[in-house]
Chains A and B, each alone.
Chain A
Amino acid sequence: MKNRRIIYSLLLLTGLIVSTSGCTKFLDLKPKGKDVPRTFAHFDGMLNTTRMLQMIWSAPNPNGPGYNFSRGMDPFWIFMTDELIAPTPTEFDVFAKEQKEAFKFADNILIYTTEEMNTWSGLYSFIYTNNVIINNVPNLKDGSDSDRKALIAEAKVNRAHFHHLLAQTFGKPYRKASEETDLAVPLVTEASIGILDYKRATNKELYDYIINDLKESIPMLKEGAGTKLRVHRAAGYFVLGRILFDMGMYPEAQEALISCQTETAKAVIPIALFDYTDDSKSFSLWGYNPASPHAWRTGYFLPEDERNTEIINANYFTQNIIVYTGTQLANAVFVKDDYMAKFSANDRRRRFFADRRYTGTPIWGRFKRINKWQTPYGANLPDLYLMLAECYARTGNDTKARESVMLLRSKRIVGATEAAIPTSVNSKDLLIKFIVDERLRENMMTGMRWFDIRRLWNDPLFPEIKTNSVHTLGTETYTLTEKRLSLRIPPKDLRMCPSLVNND
């Protein structure tokens, strides 16, 4: 009797031991839909996100881990460019207080309810993801060597690009003479939440680092863009070209941009300028109706849309906050009359503007942007041609410069005579000024002008940049000063990092 129970118990105990010996295996289970990044596909997939394409659009969730995928009030420099004008303060009231402060060039934009800026925290969150790739992919076993190198290179290009945009917002404009003392933004090269204090790199430290990174990485990138959603070699050269261009290093920029052009030619996806002069190939595709041009508000292809052939790499930011904000479309900010006059009569880019509500009711008498609310910031043809044109002009290659700018103008303006560069543009300086104006026409009321203002602030060719950087609001006027070319650092990080130095 007793023997039997001992035998039974032993059997059960054996079962117990057997059942627990597989413990390690038992607990070695990964939840579905989530993972710890282990494989090449995991790291590679981190760049398959529209969030990183839509720069300044998403930020880490302030209420906890994860992303907060919503449009903030940024970027504030959209409100700070010289072509803008606003009607009476009441009508201007549709904007958030922070946006109005930006329009007034206030020192502290974030003095109201929030202490974070998407431009700052969003871009740094993308930098974190790219650092995860850069820090970890070298240790991976799977994926081919060239795939791994290309992925690291892509992440480094992204990291450089995001740091540059941060510096363009919060850092001092790049000046060779003072690069060792001018403060840029913190340079983050390690994915870690354990670093509790950060300090700002100088312009030299930052740009030496990212330019070096780019130069090392670009040859590793894949050739021949197969998709505009990811960075290929053409996009890499574009980023390098843009950074050097913004630094005022035109010959170096020119070299990178030419390489971009060469690489773009190898692209698998169709890349070509839209022909604005032929409605059937452009405007009518986008729902434009000549009978009610002011009612045309949507339909232009997003940069990430495969049909948008002007895009080489689909990074962009959106400026619809100054077009379509709050509940009242009608009253907001407009383009100054003399800036609107920069468009010739048959310049089709006029169609993106209207001086009436979409119902047809006239408004303030001035024009505002009504369509094409997404501004490409990654590699794109118009910007490539315009930057190249200016580089050629500045390095004295007049023919190439004219050729470049005409590539764009011929697709934008109806009639060869009107599209041609006026004969009055007959010197190197005038050509440079003409090309900068062309940039303005192409990017009117998109915020892109901000980067030119920073770049050309002390350029003797452009004294009007300072004098025109005045905003009127009813009877009040506000003037942009040099110190405000760098926005102040968001208060939260100043609070958390004692070593961060704020801008004046």
Chain B
Amino acid sequence: MKKVLLLFSMIFFSLVIFAQDVKITIKMENEPIKSILNEIEKKSNYTFVYSSTLIDTKRNISLVADNEKLETVVAKLCTIAGLNYSFEGKRVVLTQKLTSKEPAKLESKQVQIKGKVIDDENQPLAGAYVFFKNDINVCGITDLDGHFSFSADENSVKGDALVVKYIGMKGVEIPYIGTTDYIINLEQDTRLLENVIVTGYQTISKERSAGSFSLVKGEVVQDKANISGSLIQSLEGQAAGLNVNIKSNGDEEFLIRGLTSINSNKQPLIVVDGVAVSQSVLNNMISNNDISTVTFLKDATAASIWGSRAANGVIVITTKTGKDTNRKVDVSYNGSYTYKGMPDYSYQNMMDPQMFIKTAKETFDPVAWPWDQINSGILNNEKPQVYRHEKILYDFNRGLITESQMNTELAKLAALNNRNQYEDYFMQPAFGTTHNVSLTGGGSFYKYYFSLGYENTGSNSRSATNKFMINSRQEFNFTSWLKVDLGINLGMTTGSNQVMPTGGLSTIPYMMFADDNGNPLSHSDLLFMDSFRLTKQQAGDINLDFIPLKDAVGSYNKSLVNNSRVNAGVNIKIIKGLTFDGRYYYQRGNGKNESYLSRDTWAVRNETAFFTQPKASSTTLPTFYLPTKGGNYDVINSQSTDWTVRNQLSYENMFDNSKHQINALAGIELRASRDISTISRSKGYDPQLLTFQPYDEKLLAVTGITNPLLRNTTSGNNKLLTPSTQFGETEVRYLSLYSNVGYTFNNKYSINASVRVDQSNLFGTDKSVQFKPIWSTGFVWNLANENFMKEQNMFDRLMLRFSYGLAGNSPDPGKGGPYNVIRVITVGNTIFNNLGSGFEIEYPANTRLTWEQTRTINFGADFSILNNRVSGSLDVYNKYTTNLLANLDLASISGWSTTYANTGIMSNKGVELTVNSININNKDWKWSTNFSFSYNANKIVKLYDANTFFTIYKPNYEGFPANTLWAYKFAGLDDMGDPLTYNANGDLVKVSTAIDQNTKLGENKSIVNAGVMTPPFYGGLTNNIKYKDFELSFMFIYNLGHKMFNTSSNFSGRLTRNIDKDFDKRWRKIGDDTNIPSYAPNTALEIRRNTDFYFRGDINVLNASYVKLRDLSIAYSLPSNICNKLYTDKIKVRFQVTNLLTIAANKKGFDPEAHNLTNGSRYNKFGPSFSIGLTVNFK
């Protein structure tokens, strides 16, 4: 990676030195000193630094040591060889032993100090800063070939030491040992990696970029992703500015620096190894263990190189590459098992069987729901339907049974609870496992990284996915000027989903799935009354019974996704400073989803009944229009193709003894993305024989069937609505030109500028609208390099940054432009068969549409103090989005209700702080803390939405933050148990019409601004504690300052499903001390009031703030002697727990992550997840 740097900077960094207590065994007889040194280097991981002119490394000596400390061994060697030594970090500096002290010469003599600085892969490092420790003004900077040369006064530098600093590398100090050709080898410092920034187009030093970035190291992500299952999720709390909104229903939204768009794209762009990818490619192809770094590009300067797609920020991911291991193969294994368990059903707050039956009795209303209506099936497309508890109640009501009989029957139902059966038959605890083996190594010509990954995820709904991933990255250094890298990924994901009972899975507690002996039970009475079903079965010769446990037997739902991608890069150094970079990417995905519903499924038999005419008499046969044997087999084949071609020239050079440093790049990029899908549906399918049965599709789709056995529509003929074949294809293409220029003066002041123009085939738009350059500019002041700062010891690093730029979101392809956009009408238009395709205008011609533009100003400071013990950065930004894309109301006379238009202005202001500290650092103990804090204030400054027609269900209004939660002002219940609110005059009212919805916001007495649903404050706190071979790490994340609704849903009408327990606390009679509205047996009565005055009332607004102990991990590394015996370098065992602790600000016990903030519905809530993992690095 450093190889690509070709940039230079400096970093002041003091080494943390460990005791040299590595023990080695060596036995070498009469070997050259050089070989012995090499052997020690190999065994100890230490390197020797010496001047080849002063030490005769060809001299042969003998050295024997048996498990002795390195220092002892080195001392032994030096005594034999007549050398002096000193330990400098992981280096041993060898000098010639002076036999006698020579008198100091007093006359000044200029000597030339020269040498070469290389990295651990022997590649030259350009821009390394070399200076004398006692006089930093005697210094030089390496050129592009890594050479440095400068003169010094021999007398004044005698006994001094040379210090070499380089960005991303551990600095070294080498004793001055006279004029010689120093070869100085720098080691990569992973801790300092955060000082370089990978934008996807270039890797630059943080010191020279004005952009706002955050970096997360791969290993942090890996361990977390194995348990959370998602890379994006595992980034939570790691970087200031990133807000991950985790919902247990699987959706996750992530935003960088707040919301900049209402209707357009909101999510950041994801880039993997220099190429933009979709989230699905990321999920299906990239193994978490292969991730090297993740960089967030947050402001305009950071992101503008990505052009129009970067307005929401960019997440740049790099994967691991090969390294020069001197041809040794490094093999490592990483694996984990994760247990997620079952969701907590009690969290759903559903009624138990007794309460359900009690409620059924209380809400039974034969006046609102007369028996003859129930019995006639008028309520359900002529299919009469009655629930068991209702049947008993109607029987009593109709005088068929006595009250005591009724109570006995109801008590029988109340004694049943199907929840355990539900969980036993249809659910399972979620398990997951991951395994990853990687091989890495190479030499100076060829480097590689191969990995083989396997992930298995099982979900509660008994679906399972198996993911296999093969990743290879190779680098070829053909010559000193030609380098080629090649990445190939193959990914295969297979999935199988449980086919759920096709007649539905009832939540009514007494609907048992099997009897006490395990025999499956019928649920067909949930669909039709038995008498009706038997008549129809007889008339149509079709079994319409529905037995959930037998329903899906023989049916299956499987998916297979194969993905492959090739990512190749070419790097040619043309002439000094000028480089050509090419990147060529091709990705292809093939997916197949098969769903087979056998004849045993109720859905298939029911569909047959829709297209069957009953027999005219008992002696004739019914008329079948669909096959009566075999099942329904649906196949979806999909194919995606993405490719990118990028050609780029970069130039970098320095002039006037490094006083002026310049780097520039310019390139052109072509990108295309194409998705094709084919859906085919067969009926009468036999999966064994691969046969299907034909049917008259035109008749069923165009004309339909009169007088069917069962109706599927309220009016007209029964028609087949889904066609047997469907096709889809979309393709988007982009052409982009971009350039980026940076200039640094005297290593203190840098300016950056970048510009990019994107054009696409965004269809229906005008080219002139598309030609919107995205640009940015920035300035950095590297205070630490000022002379006046060199005297102080407080700051190791101090940088001030300023940037300003423009980013944009283009209107979605095909969503409008100067032309009308038409689409083919597919549904309901079969009758136009012979008249040609039908088209409808999807979007009207709209000349007023232009890009959403986001201007960002960013001020930032990066600092590092107390020998880098505390470091961090602070950013303040103001994002101002104009031409906000949203739906604008139109007069209906125009033919359109709304149009997609540039309708407003939104601002996001915020502060971000990251602090890293090393609290303890000694031989046995190491404790570091990482804290991130973000604050974002969003406001819709302007919304040219003429709609003053106010509804609390709309979250975005001018003058208020986006995602505002609006609530009714609740004013108690009246004497019918109906919730009240206030009208404009302050009178109590209970219907929506009484509220003046045309008054301005804020003047409306019935409506309250309850806060925002997006947390304004968020971040994380991570502690890593290491004691000897043990590591403990835990992270708290926090989301504060937002609001949500209490669980709330109105219930009225017939009791046909299980409902919330709170319904039992409802108002029943005058004097009841409750706020929960009374029950209304049907909608006709329900319209006398608006129950949302309570359910969406201010009384039900809760604080959604929470803090979670997101994860806790304990790891243990086996001692090195045990590892050695097992032929390994490292064995690490890890135990992780997520979500061990939640502190939520609401008193109701809601977990805001298992909650729909907008409407208060509950999602599944899980207990902590557990994971154990193992990492092994083989010798």
Contacts and interface: CB of A to CB of B under 8 A. Distances in A.
Contact of A128 (B764, B844, B900): B844
Interface string B1056-1088: 000000000000000000000000001111010
B895 A188 contact: yes
A59 B714 contact: no
B866 interface: no
Given A33-B823, A36-B821, A125 B889 contact: no
A27 B844 contact: no
B895 A191 contact: yes
B729 A27 contact: no
A42 B839 contact: yes
Contacts of A45: 822, 836-839
Interface in A82-123: 90, 93-94, 97, 111-113, 115-116, 120-121
Interface string A467-504: 00000000000000000000000101101110000000
Contacts of B574: 5-6, 9
Identify the interface centre among B580, B831, B892, B895: most chain A CB within 10 Å of its CB.
Answer: B892
B893 A493 contact: yes
Interface string A53-72: 00000011111111101000
A64 B580 CA distance: 47
B948 to A, nearest CB: 7
Contacts of A48: 825, 829, 832, 835-839
Interface in A157-198: 186, 188, 191-198
A125 B761 contact: no
B372 A36 contact: no
Contacts of A30: 761, 763
Given A5-B481, A33-B824, A128 B895 contact: yes
A330 B375 CA distance: 14
Interface in A276-294: 286-287
B675 to A, nearest CB: 10
A93 B840 contact: no
Interface residues of B, number: 93
Contact of B889 (A120, A129, A496): A496
Interface string B755-775: 000011101100000000000
Nearest to B735: A23
Given A49-B829, A132-B820, A12 B580 contact: yes
Interface stretch (B87-95, B808-816, B1021-1029): B808-816
A16 B581 CA distance: 11
Interface in A293-318: 297-299, 302, 304-306
Interface stretch (A353-361, A444-452, A456-464): A353-361
Given A16-B647, A46-B841, A60-B892, A112 B992 contact: yes
A116 B821 contact: no
Contact of B896 (A49, A125, A287): A125
B825 A492 contact: no
Contacts of A422: none
B84 interface: no
B835 A19 contact: no
Given A28-B761, A36-B820, A304-B831, A116 B892 contact: yes
B847 interface: yes
Contact of B831 (A35, A37, A50): A50
A283 to B, nearest CB: 13
B822 A31 contact: no
A260 B91 CA distance: 104
Interface in B881-912: 887, 889-900
A36 B946 contact: no
B575 A191 contact: no
Contacts of B716: 298, 302
A297 to B, nearest CB: 8
B1041 interface: no
Q: Is the interface of A mostly helix, strand, loop or mixed?
A: loop
A373 interface: yes
A354 to B, nearest CB: 13
B482 A5 contact: yes
A416 interface: no
B822 A37 contact: yes
A145 to B, nearest CB: 19
Nearest to B813: A31
B820 A5 contact: no
Interface string B724-757: 0000111111010000000000000000000000
Contact of A373 (B372, B715, B824, B846): B715
Nearest to B578: A9
Contacts of B38: none
Contacts of A113: 992
A31 B674 CA distance: 10
B904 to A, nearest CB: 16
A313 B3 CA distance: 76
A65 B887 CA distance: 8
Identify the interface centre among B816, B900, B1082: most chain A CB within 10 Å of its CB.
Answer: B1082
Contacts of A306: 703, 831
Contacts of B582: 12
Nearest to B767: A27
Contacts of A275: none
B570 interface: yes
A9 B580 contact: yes
A41 B836 CA distance: 8
Contacts of B831: 50, 229, 304, 306
A97 B731 CA distance: 47
A215 to B, nearest CB: 25
A453 B670 CA distance: 66
B157 to A, nearest CB: 38
Contact of A51 (B730, B840, B1087): B840
A144 interface: no
Contacts of B479: 1
B60 interface: no
Contact of A27 (B760, B764, B847, B848): B760
Nearest to A118: B892
A332 B879 CA distance: 57
A358 B993 CA distance: 36
Given A111-B993, A299-B706, A198 B893 contact: yes
B573 interface: yes
A327 B379 contact: yes
B668 interface: yes
Contacts of B655: none
Nearest to A8: B572
Contacts of A1: 479, 481
B64 interface: no
Contacts of A127: 895
A384 B949 CA distance: 44
Contacts of B572: 5, 8-9, 12
Contacts of B378: 327-330, 357-359
A492 B891 contact: yes
B373 interface: yes
B843 interface: yes
A230 interface: yes
B845 interface: yes
Nearest to B892: A121
Given A32-B730, A46-B840, A287 B706 contact: yes
Contact of B670 (A26, A94, A297): A26
Interface in B996-1055: none
B504 interface: no
Contacts of B454: none
Given A26-B735, A46-B839, 15 more contacts: A5-B482, A34-B822, A36-B821, A111-B993, A112-B993, A120-B893, A193-B890, A227-B835, A229-B835, A357-B376, A359-B375, A361-B372, A493-B892, A495-B948, A496-B889
15 contacts: A20-B670, A31-B732, A32-B729, A46-B822, A46-B841, A49-B839, A60-B892, A69-B828, A93-B1085, A127-B895, A188-B895, A192-B845, A298-B716, A320-B714, A328-B1084
The 7 closest A-B pairs by CB, nearest first: A128-B895, A121-B892, A48-B838, A93-B1084, A45-B839, A359-B376, A60-B897
